[in-house]
Chain A
Amino acid sequence: MAALADYGTYVWMAYGVCALLLVAEVLAVRARARRAERVRDGGAGEDVR
Protein backbone atom coordinates (compact mmCIF):
# COMPACT_ATOMS: atom_id res chain seq x y z
CA MET A 1 0.00 0.00 0.00
CA ALA A 2 1.43 3.34 -1.01
CA ALA A 3 1.17 6.31 1.33
CA LEU A 4 -2.05 8.26 0.79
CA ALA A 5 -0.06 11.34 -0.27
CA ASP A 6 1.47 9.35 -3.15
CA TYR A 7 -1.90 8.82 -4.85
CA GLY A 8 -1.38 12.01 -6.82
CA THR A 9 -3.22 15.19 -7.67
CA TYR A 10 -5.80 13.61 -9.97
CA VAL A 11 -7.04 11.13 -7.36
CA TRP A 12 -7.38 13.74 -4.63
CA MET A 13 -8.93 16.28 -6.99
CA ALA A 14 -11.54 13.67 -7.98
CA TYR A 15 -12.35 12.81 -4.35
CA GLY A 16 -12.32 16.51 -3.42
CA VAL A 17 -14.75 17.52 -6.18
CA CYS A 18 -17.01 14.59 -5.29
CA ALA A 19 -17.06 15.53 -1.58
CA LEU A 20 -17.66 19.19 -2.40
CA LEU A 21 -20.63 18.44 -4.67
CA LEU A 22 -22.25 16.01 -2.23
CA VAL A 23 -21.84 18.39 0.73
CA ALA A 24 -23.28 21.23 -1.39
CA GLU A 25 -26.26 19.05 -2.31
CA VAL A 26 -26.91 18.05 1.30
CA LEU A 27 -26.75 21.69 2.44
CA ALA A 28 -29.06 22.79 -0.40
CA VAL A 29 -31.58 20.05 0.41
CA ARG A 30 -31.55 20.86 4.12
CA ALA A 31 -32.02 24.57 3.38
CA ARG A 32 -34.94 23.78 1.05
CA ALA A 33 -36.52 21.49 3.67
CA ARG A 34 -36.26 24.21 6.33
CA ARG A 35 -37.69 26.80 3.93
CA ALA A 36 -40.57 24.48 3.03
CA GLU A 37 -41.30 23.88 6.73
CA ARG A 38 -41.55 27.62 7.30
CA VAL A 39 -43.87 28.36 4.39
CA ARG A 40 -46.09 25.30 4.59
CA ASP A 41 -48.95 27.25 6.17
CA GLY A 42 -48.28 30.51 4.40
CA GLY A 43 -50.37 30.04 1.25
CA ALA A 44 -52.95 28.09 -0.61
CA GLY A 45 -50.52 25.68 -2.30
CA GLU A 46 -51.61 23.36 -5.07
CA ASP A 47 -55.24 22.60 -5.72
CA VAL A 48 -55.35 18.98 -4.51
CA ARG A 49 -59.00 18.24 -5.22
Chain B
Amino acid sequence: MAGTSINWFRYASPASFFSLAGPLARAFGIAAALLALAGLWIGLVVAPTDAQQGEAYRIIFIHVPAAWMSMFIYVVMAFWCAMSLVFNARLAAMTAQALAPSGAVFTVIALVTGSLWGKPTWGTYWAWDARMTSELILLFLYFGFMALRNAIDDPRRADRACAVLALVGAVNVPVIYFSVKWWNTLHQGASVSLTTAPRMAAIMLAGMLVMTLAAWSYSIAVTLVRLRAIINERERGAPWRRAVAQ
Protein backbone atom coordinates (compact mmCIF):
# COMPACT_ATOMS: atom_id res chain seq x y z
CA MET B 1 0.00 0.00 0.00
CA ALA B 2 2.81 2.36 0.90
CA GLY B 3 4.33 1.84 -2.55
CA THR B 4 1.16 3.03 -4.36
CA SER B 5 0.13 5.89 -2.08
CA ILE B 6 0.20 9.47 -3.39
CA ASN B 7 2.15 12.09 -1.50
CA TRP B 8 -0.50 14.85 -1.44
CA PHE B 9 1.85 17.29 0.26
CA ARG B 10 3.83 17.31 -2.98
CA TYR B 11 0.95 19.38 -4.46
CA ALA B 12 1.21 21.99 -1.69
CA SER B 13 4.06 23.45 -3.73
CA PRO B 14 3.09 25.92 -6.50
CA ALA B 15 5.69 24.28 -8.76
CA SER B 16 4.07 20.83 -8.49
CA PHE B 17 0.50 22.07 -8.52
CA PHE B 18 0.98 24.26 -11.60
CA SER B 19 1.25 21.32 -14.00
CA LEU B 20 -1.65 19.48 -12.33
CA ALA B 21 -4.00 22.50 -12.47
CA GLY B 22 -4.07 22.76 -16.29
CA PRO B 23 -5.56 19.33 -17.11
CA LEU B 24 -7.85 19.54 -14.06
CA ALA B 25 -9.24 22.91 -15.21
CA ARG B 26 -9.99 21.49 -18.67
CA ALA B 27 -11.75 18.43 -17.21
CA PHE B 28 -13.89 20.51 -14.83
CA GLY B 29 -14.66 23.01 -17.59
CA ILE B 30 -16.02 20.26 -19.84
CA ALA B 31 -17.97 18.75 -16.92
CA ALA B 32 -19.45 22.20 -16.13
CA ALA B 33 -20.63 22.69 -19.72
CA LEU B 34 -22.25 19.23 -19.92
CA LEU B 35 -23.90 19.55 -16.50
CA ALA B 36 -25.18 23.06 -17.29
CA LEU B 37 -26.75 21.79 -20.53
CA ALA B 38 -28.43 18.93 -18.64
CA GLY B 39 -29.57 21.24 -15.82
CA LEU B 40 -30.96 23.85 -18.22
CA TRP B 41 -32.80 21.13 -20.13
CA ILE B 42 -34.43 19.89 -16.93
CA GLY B 43 -35.12 23.38 -15.58
CA LEU B 44 -36.42 25.06 -18.73
CA VAL B 45 -37.95 22.16 -20.68
CA VAL B 46 -38.73 19.14 -18.52
CA ALA B 47 -39.82 20.70 -15.20
CA PRO B 48 -43.51 21.61 -15.08
CA THR B 49 -45.00 25.01 -14.24
CA ASP B 50 -45.22 25.65 -10.49
CA ALA B 51 -48.76 25.71 -9.11
CA GLN B 52 -48.15 28.78 -6.92
CA GLN B 53 -45.39 30.81 -8.57
CA GLY B 54 -46.08 30.02 -12.22
CA GLU B 55 -43.06 30.26 -14.53
CA ALA B 56 -41.13 32.74 -12.34
CA TYR B 57 -39.98 29.86 -10.10
CA ARG B 58 -37.61 28.73 -12.92
CA ILE B 59 -35.19 31.38 -11.65
CA ILE B 60 -34.40 29.01 -8.76
CA PHE B 61 -32.35 26.84 -11.14
CA ILE B 62 -29.74 29.59 -11.17
CA HIS B 63 -30.57 31.55 -8.02
CA VAL B 64 -30.27 28.70 -5.49
CA PRO B 65 -27.03 27.19 -6.90
CA ALA B 66 -25.52 30.70 -7.09
CA ALA B 67 -26.53 31.48 -3.49
CA TRP B 68 -25.13 28.14 -2.27
CA MET B 69 -21.89 28.71 -4.20
CA SER B 70 -21.52 32.25 -2.83
CA MET B 71 -21.50 30.88 0.73
CA PHE B 72 -19.58 27.68 -0.04
CA ILE B 73 -16.79 29.51 -1.88
CA TYR B 74 -16.41 31.88 1.08
CA VAL B 75 -16.08 28.93 3.48
CA VAL B 76 -13.48 27.30 1.21
CA MET B 77 -11.66 30.64 0.89
CA ALA B 78 -11.60 31.07 4.67
CA PHE B 79 -10.32 27.49 5.04
CA TRP B 80 -7.38 28.13 2.69
CA CYS B 81 -6.72 31.44 4.46
CA ALA B 82 -6.51 29.55 7.76
CA MET B 83 -4.13 27.04 6.13
CA SER B 84 -1.96 29.87 4.82
CA LEU B 85 -1.78 31.45 8.29
CA VAL B 86 -1.13 28.21 10.17
CA PHE B 87 1.35 26.58 7.75
CA ASN B 88 2.61 29.76 6.05
CA ALA B 89 1.75 28.02 2.78
CA ARG B 90 1.93 30.25 -0.28
CA LEU B 91 -0.27 28.03 -2.46
CA ALA B 92 -3.07 28.15 0.14
CA ALA B 93 -3.03 31.96 0.06
CA MET B 94 -2.93 31.94 -3.75
CA THR B 95 -5.93 29.59 -3.81
CA ALA B 96 -7.90 31.94 -1.57
CA GLN B 97 -6.90 34.83 -3.84
CA ALA B 98 -8.12 32.84 -6.88
CA LEU B 99 -11.45 31.95 -5.25
CA ALA B 100 -12.54 35.48 -4.27
CA PRO B 101 -13.58 36.83 -7.71
CA SER B 102 -15.67 33.70 -8.44
CA GLY B 103 -17.33 34.02 -5.05
CA ALA B 104 -18.13 37.67 -5.77
CA VAL B 105 -19.60 36.77 -9.19
CA PHE B 106 -21.88 34.12 -7.66
CA THR B 107 -22.95 36.55 -4.94
CA VAL B 108 -23.89 39.15 -7.55
CA ILE B 109 -25.80 36.49 -9.52
CA ALA B 110 -27.62 35.39 -6.34
CA LEU B 111 -28.58 38.99 -5.49
CA VAL B 112 -29.67 39.96 -9.03
CA THR B 113 -31.61 36.77 -9.77
CA GLY B 114 -33.12 36.93 -6.28
CA SER B 115 -34.44 40.44 -6.87
CA LEU B 116 -35.76 39.40 -10.31
CA TRP B 117 -37.57 36.53 -8.58
CA GLY B 118 -38.77 38.80 -5.76
CA LYS B 119 -40.56 41.27 -8.01
CA PRO B 120 -43.14 38.84 -9.50
CA THR B 121 -43.50 36.74 -6.31
CA TRP B 122 -43.22 39.28 -3.45
CA GLY B 123 -44.01 42.47 -5.36
CA THR B 124 -40.63 44.10 -4.70
CA TYR B 125 -37.08 43.82 -6.02
CA TRP B 126 -35.48 44.38 -2.65
CA ALA B 127 -36.25 44.37 1.07
CA TRP B 128 -33.78 44.99 3.88
CA ASP B 129 -34.54 41.65 5.48
CA ALA B 130 -31.90 39.52 7.20
CA ARG B 131 -31.26 37.08 4.34
CA MET B 132 -30.82 39.70 1.63
CA THR B 133 -28.86 42.11 3.81
CA SER B 134 -26.44 39.43 5.03
CA GLU B 135 -25.92 38.26 1.43
CA LEU B 136 -25.14 41.87 0.46
CA ILE B 137 -22.62 42.01 3.33
CA LEU B 138 -21.04 38.85 1.87
CA LEU B 139 -20.56 40.69 -1.42
CA PHE B 140 -18.87 43.56 0.43
CA LEU B 141 -16.62 41.05 2.20
CA TYR B 142 -15.52 39.65 -1.17
CA PHE B 143 -14.92 43.19 -2.48
CA GLY B 144 -13.02 44.07 0.70
CA PHE B 145 -10.85 40.96 0.37
CA MET B 146 -9.94 41.79 -3.22
CA ALA B 147 -9.41 45.50 -2.49
CA LEU B 148 -7.16 44.75 0.48
CA ARG B 149 -5.15 42.32 -1.63
CA ASN B 150 -4.58 44.98 -4.28
CA ALA B 151 -3.81 47.69 -1.72
CA ILE B 152 -0.74 45.93 -0.27
CA ASP B 153 2.32 45.64 -2.49
CA ASP B 154 4.12 42.92 -0.52
CA PRO B 155 2.30 39.67 -1.46
CA ARG B 156 3.15 37.88 1.80
CA ARG B 157 1.85 40.77 3.92
CA ALA B 158 -1.25 40.89 1.72
CA ASP B 159 -1.72 37.13 2.28
CA ARG B 160 -1.73 37.59 6.06
CA ALA B 161 -3.98 40.66 6.09
CA CYS B 162 -6.49 39.04 3.72
CA ALA B 163 -6.46 35.81 5.73
CA VAL B 164 -7.45 37.70 8.88
CA LEU B 165 -10.20 39.56 7.03
CA ALA B 166 -11.57 36.34 5.48
CA LEU B 167 -11.57 34.52 8.83
CA VAL B 168 -13.34 37.37 10.63
CA GLY B 169 -15.88 37.63 7.80
CA ALA B 170 -16.61 33.90 7.96
CA VAL B 171 -18.97 34.60 10.86
CA ASN B 172 -21.37 36.06 8.26
CA VAL B 173 -21.90 32.70 6.50
CA PRO B 174 -23.93 30.99 9.26
CA VAL B 175 -25.82 34.28 9.70
CA ILE B 176 -26.87 34.11 6.01
CA TYR B 177 -27.80 30.43 6.24
CA PHE B 178 -29.80 30.61 9.46
CA SER B 179 -31.21 34.12 8.96
CA VAL B 180 -34.54 32.74 7.72
CA LYS B 181 -34.83 30.75 10.96
CA TRP B 182 -33.51 33.34 13.40
CA TRP B 183 -35.53 36.29 12.10
CA ASN B 184 -38.90 36.87 10.52
CA THR B 185 -37.86 37.47 6.90
CA LEU B 186 -39.61 38.17 3.64
CA HIS B 187 -37.32 35.57 2.10
CA GLN B 188 -38.84 32.11 2.35
CA GLY B 189 -37.32 29.33 4.44
CA ALA B 190 -35.08 26.60 3.03
CA SER B 191 -36.85 24.22 0.64
CA VAL B 192 -33.91 21.80 0.72
CA SER B 193 -32.18 20.70 3.90
CA LEU B 194 -29.80 17.92 4.89
CA THR B 195 -31.99 16.96 7.85
CA THR B 196 -35.52 17.05 6.39
CA ALA B 197 -37.21 15.80 3.22
CA PRO B 198 -37.24 18.34 0.35
CA ARG B 199 -40.42 20.39 0.01
CA MET B 200 -40.40 20.46 -3.78
CA ALA B 201 -41.11 18.12 -6.70
CA ALA B 202 -38.40 15.55 -7.46
CA ILE B 203 -37.80 16.83 -11.02
CA MET B 204 -37.37 20.41 -9.79
CA LEU B 205 -34.95 19.23 -7.11
CA ALA B 206 -33.04 17.17 -9.71
CA GLY B 207 -32.69 20.23 -11.98
CA MET B 208 -31.48 22.36 -9.11
CA LEU B 209 -28.92 19.79 -7.96
CA VAL B 210 -27.57 19.27 -11.51
CA MET B 211 -27.21 23.06 -11.87
CA THR B 212 -25.43 23.13 -8.51
CA LEU B 213 -22.96 20.51 -9.73
CA ALA B 214 -22.47 22.59 -12.90
CA ALA B 215 -21.78 25.70 -10.80
CA TRP B 216 -19.40 23.69 -8.64
CA SER B 217 -17.46 22.37 -11.66
CA TYR B 218 -17.42 25.83 -13.26
CA SER B 219 -16.03 27.39 -10.08
CA ILE B 220 -13.28 24.78 -9.82
CA ALA B 221 -12.33 25.23 -13.50
CA VAL B 222 -12.23 29.03 -13.38
CA THR B 223 -10.42 29.05 -10.04
CA LEU B 224 -7.74 26.68 -11.35
CA VAL B 225 -7.15 28.81 -14.46
CA ARG B 226 -6.94 31.93 -12.27
CA LEU B 227 -4.66 30.11 -9.84
CA ARG B 228 -2.26 29.21 -12.66
CA ALA B 229 -2.20 32.88 -13.67
CA ILE B 230 -1.51 33.94 -10.07
CA ILE B 231 1.29 31.37 -9.79
CA ASN B 232 2.76 32.73 -13.03
CA GLU B 233 2.52 36.30 -11.72
CA ARG B 234 3.95 35.64 -8.28
CA GLU B 235 6.59 33.04 -9.12
CA ARG B 236 7.91 34.51 -12.33
CA GLY B 237 11.38 34.85 -10.88
CA ALA B 238 11.50 31.39 -9.33
CA PRO B 239 14.07 28.92 -10.76
CA TRP B 240 11.41 26.25 -11.43
CA ARG B 241 9.37 28.73 -13.50
CA ARG B 242 12.37 29.78 -15.59
CA ALA B 243 13.13 26.10 -16.16
CA VAL B 244 9.58 25.47 -17.42
CA ALA B 245 9.79 28.50 -19.71
CA GLN B 246 13.01 27.31 -21.39
Q: Which residues of A contact B (CB under 8 A)?
A: 1-2, 4, 6-8, 10-11, 13-15, 17-18, 21-22, 25-26, 28-30, 32-33, 35-37, 39-46, 48
- Given contact pairs A18-B109, A33-B226, A39 touches B245 in the complex (Cβ within 8 A): no
Residues in B80-133 with C-beta less than 8 Å from chain A: 90, 101-102, 105, 108-109, 112-113, 116-117, 119-120
Chain B, interface SS category: helix
Q: Can you list 11 pairs linking A and B with CB atoms under 8 Å apart?
A: A1-B45, A11-B58, A14-B62, A14-B112, A18-B66, A22-B109, A32-B226, A40-B233, A42-B236, A45-B237, A46-B237
Given the known A-B contacts A4-B44, A22-B218, are A17 and B236 also in contact in the complex, defined by CB atoms under 8 Å?
Answer: no
A interface, over-half SS = helix
A residues in contact with B90, CB < 8 Å: 48
Please name the residue on chain A nearest to B56 by beta carbon.
A10
- Bin chain B's interface residue count: 35 or more
Residue on A nearest B121 in the bound complex, by CB: A10
B49 touches A (CB below 8 Å): yes
Asked, given contacts A7-B58, A46-B235, A48-B90, whether A40 binds B241 with beta carbons under 8 Å apart, the answer is yes
Q: What are the interface flags for B39-69 relative to A under an 8 Å C-beta threshold, 1 for contact and 0 otherwise?
A: 0000011101100000110110011001000
Assess whether B222 is in contact with A37, with CB atoms less than 8 Å apart.
no
